[in-house]
Amino acid sequence: MGVELAGGTTPSLDVRGVRYAYPDGHVALDGVDLTVARGERVALLGPNGAGKTTLVLHLNGVLGGGGGVVSVAGLTVDRDRRTLAEIRRRVGIVFQDPDDQLFLPTVGEDVAFGPANLGLRGAELAARVDEALAAVGMTEHRDRAPHHLSFGQRRRVAVATVLAMRPEILVLDEPSSNLDPASRRELAGILRALPVTLLMVTHDLPYALELCERSVILDAGRIVADAPTPHLLTDPPLLARHRLELPYGFTPPLPAPH
């Protein structure tokens, strides 16, 4: 596929001391530090209310102003309109409900929407759409109405709408939720093949193990653990302290000895 990972040593994501409190006084983020290298795949784990969604909304400037610095490929995230459009191109967020991202008559039009807003037209725009649909295995559905697709197919198209922007980092919010086993497996294969930095917010611990070599646990607005995924998932007391549970009967393999 044509989606290419940018070179260089600047991390895809650098979060330093980020704090945020909502108007009611609730502290959602309390000094978050997180660095994600280019090409790295990281799972963001944590119980409900841990601050995961609040952190994601800081990555593209929807929320901010509470303190700390977020940088995406060296560009500081702020709410200045001069840089916000480029930040939102670099940070591609795929929401939990694909219908939040699909609103045009055909799949192709939905995938073209973002690049067209960047000014792409004609053959260049068509090539961008072809590239993104091929990456998620949905080329043959280009002219179909999104609401005629299965839920799993709509999720793949939602991923394509983001890939068409050629993001620096792909952020996925609960990508495996509501998928049947076959769709879950198919999406995992697609995500493994993408040459892009990945931050995956999930409660699905086996999916985190399958797709992300590293995981961080966010709880009460703080990063409380950051380690290779197999190490975290084979630490039952750690998981229990942060209300994380493996599915019944699932036993993760022990991490390889150093």
pLDDT of 258 > 70? The answer is: no
Q: What is the pLDDT of residues 27-56, one digit of tens each?
A: 999 999 999 999 999 999 999 999 999 999
Per-residue model confidence (pLDDT) at position 92: 95
Confidence of residue 202 (pLDDT cuts 50, 70, 90): very high
- Structure tokens that stand for 228 in this block: 């290779």
Cβ atoms of 111 and 157 within 8 Å: the answer is yes
At 14 the three-state DSSP class reads strand
**3-state secondary structure labels for all residues of 189-250:** HHHHHCCCEEEEECCCHHHHHHHCCEEEEEECCEEEEEEEHHHHHCCHHHHHHCCCCCCCCC
Q: Quick check: helix, strand or coil at residue 129?
A: helix
List 119's β-bridge partners, or say none. none
Do 51 and 29 form a contact (C-beta atoms < 8 A)? yes
Radius of gyration (C-alpha) of the chain in whole angstroms? 18
Q: Which residues pair with 201 in a beta bridge?
A: 44, 173
Who contacts 28 (Cβ-Cβ below 8 Å, separation ≥6)?
20, 21, 22, 51, 54, 221
CATH superfamily of 13-100+168-241: P-loop containing nucleotide triphosphate hydrolases (3.40.50.300)
Which residue is it, tokens 């022990």? Answer: 254
- Could you tell me the pLDDT band of residue 85, with boundaries at 50, 70 and 90? confident
Residue 177 and residue 96 in contact, taking contact as beta carbons nearer than 8 Å: yes
Q: How far is CA 158 from CA 22, 33, 187, 242, in A?
A: 29, 29, 12, 30
pLDDT digits (tens, 9 = 90+) for 215-247: 999 999 999 999 999 999 999 999 999 999 999
Domain locations along the chain = 13-100+168-241
Per-residue pLDDT band at 8 (split at 50, 70, 90) = low
Q: Which residues contact 27 (CB under 8 A, 6 or more apart)?
A: 19, 20, 21, 221
Structure tokens at 105: 């008559």
> Has residue 188 got a pLDDT over 70?
yes
Q: What is the pLDDT of residues 117-153, one digit of tens each?
A: 989 999 999 999 999 999 999 999 999 999 999 999 9
